[in-house]
Amino acid sequence: MKIDAHAIIIDGDIDLLVETAKQFGSANARQLTTSQIRNIFGEVRRIEMNWQQDTGPEADQAYRQVALLEPKLAYQARRERGQGVGELESVLRPCLEEIRKAPADQRRRYFGRFIDFFEAILAYHRAAGGN
């Protein structure tokens, strides 16, 4: 699934965020398990907690963890059976790329939008009957 990551993450287009999450959650309810999503989402939450505690130069560590999510997602996508995690990677990777390209003073803000998007995907996945 191709998404407009720039509009969702940088521009903060909430309507597009909701619609994209709804489409993805519904389309992948049977291909992707909640535990597969939560494995990745748990890592995102850990990064969020670290970033909230980091200030000044220490915020670089949380940013490094965000950057390293891309290879972790790629690994998970290749490791899991089926195409569900691969589809999730194809939606989340462009968002992470937008965060990495952003000015340092905006990264935390954009990461918050990424979390909103990921939460919406999880919610719509469950609403569509994902197990």
pLDDT tens, position by position, 8-23 = 999 999 999 999 999 9
How many CB atoms are closer than 10 A to CB 108?
18
Per-domain residue ranges of the chain: 5-127
pLDDT given at position 62: 83
Q: How confident is the model over 79-120, as pLDDT tens digits? A: 877 688 999 999 999 999 999 999 988 999 999 999 999 999
Task: Find the DSSP H helices in 28-58.
Answer: 34-53
CA proximity to 128, closest of 91, 84, 83: 84
Which secondary-structure segment (H or E) carries 20? helix 14-27
Which amino acid makes up residue 4?
D
The pLDDT-based confidence of 59 (bands split at 50, 70, 90) is low
Q: Indicate the pTM of the whole model.
A: 0.91
